A = this chain, B = another copy of it.
């Protein structure tokens, strides 16, 4: 049976182990935390905790180390989210308010998150799939070369070059611009890309050739899900703080290069709900020694992407969870503002 005091002991073990990176023994425990009982009692509790699988002893005469299950219990039952200090809050808001565009927001956030948590931070770029087309602009660069620019509701701008076989008159371009905007404005990009398919025949049949070229590139730009797969990473240097190079650092360092892996790690967590995946709970056996703290972000509960931190299972969960939630909220707020 795991009663309150045993939970206290578990919490103390987790905290000490996170702080010292060394197995923690009964004596050190009662010295550093005022548990109000003697080492012998703590030892009895530890024996039970070990039997239940929450802690583990590397070898006979060593202290105890939390298991993944122990961390899990710690996170579920014990972690009171440390609130951010006002200084930290101010740092977040001033930094992110200074961002000039969406990419800037992402890059600043990821940097910030890694600095706040002293861990490796990951921020997924906002997905485009749920955004709507705000405006399409066509610009003639030369008579046979135009640039199409798609402005999305999230504030993101996609641009593509179009090469034409024959010159296109400005008047025709203007007409095409009107037609395209009429067809796509306010429509979700996937639907907008589909809607464009009907245009070539509907507008100026004699210009169908041009229309088809422009519309083709436009549709491609709108169905480009490149962004859905992009992530920004920061703070790899924080891994250097950890020992255990081969089991903890190296696999993670390798994973950081594989953005697909990172996306899977981030998962699809809901907005405002912080998810913690501990060690083996994650999808990769090589990353059994790393934990992930993530949450979704997006204006008004619309999930646009995920962000979070990764690090060794032995990480500061309460601090990481608080920072992840705080940053996600600010990012959501900024996306909300840009959206009006």
Nearest CB of chain B from residue A9's CB, rounded to whole Å: 35
Binding-face segment, A74-82, A131-139, A191-199, A321-329: A131-139
Nearest CB of chain B from residue A125's CB, rounded to whole Å: 12
| Cα-based distance from A219 to B160 in the complex (angstroms) | 24
B100, B134, B256: the one contacting A237 at CB < 8 Å is B256
| Chain A 112-139 per-residue mask, 1 if CB under 8 angstroms from chain B, else 0 | 0000000000000000000000110101
Determine the chain B residues whose CB is within 8 A of the CB of A101 once the complex forms: 159-160
Determine the chain B residues whose CB is within 8 A of the CB of A104 once the complex forms: 226
B235, B239, B257, B338: the one contacting A235 at CB < 8 Å is B257
The A228-254 residues at the B interface (CB cut-off 8 A) are 234-237, 239-240, 245, 249-250, 253-254
B139 contacts A137, CB within 8 Å?
Answer: yes
A319 proximal to B (CB < 8 A): no
A236 contacts B250, CB within 8 Å?
Answer: no
Determine the chain B residues whose CB is within 8 A of the CB of A235 once the complex forms: 257
The A170-197 residues at the B interface (CB cut-off 8 A) are none
Determine the chain B residues whose CB is within 8 A of the CB of A240 once the complex forms: 245, 249-250, 253-254
Determine the chain B residues whose CB is within 8 A of the CB of A73 once the complex forms: none
A48 proximal to B (CB < 8 A): no
| Cα-based distance from A151 to B135 in the complex (angstroms) | 17
Determine the chain B residues whose CB is within 8 A of the CB of A250 once the complex forms: 237, 240
A159 contacts B157, CB within 8 Å?
Answer: yes
**Copies in the assembly, this chain:** 2
A155 proximal to B (CB < 8 A): yes
Say yes or no: A149-B161 contact (C-beta < 8 A), given A240-B254, A245-B245, A256-B237: no
Determine the chain B residues whose CB is within 8 A of the CB of A226 once the complex forms: 100, 104
| Cα-based distance from A216 to B254 in the complex (angstroms) | 45
Closest to A135 in B: B139
Closest to A155 in B: B161
- Beyond known contacts A135-B139, A157-B159, A236-B253: 14 more, CB 8 A cutoff: A100-B224, A100-B226, A134-B141, A135-B141, A147-B151, A149-B157, A236-B256, A236-B257, A237-B254, A237-B256, A237-B257, A239-B253, A240-B250, A245-B245
Residues of A within 8 A of B (CB): 100-101, 104, 134-135, 137, 139, 141, 147, 149, 151, 155, 157, 159-161, 224, 226, 234-237, 239-240, 245, 249-250, 253-254, 256-257, 338
26 A-B residue pairs with Cβ-Cβ distance under 8 Å, sorted by A, are A100-B160, A101-B159, A101-B160, A135-B147, A137-B137, A137-B149, A147-B151, A149-B149, A149-B157, A155-B161, A157-B159, A161-B338, A235-B257, A236-B236, A236-B256, A236-B257, A237-B250, A237-B253, A237-B254, A237-B256, A237-B257, A239-B253, A240-B245, A240-B249, A240-B253, A245-B245
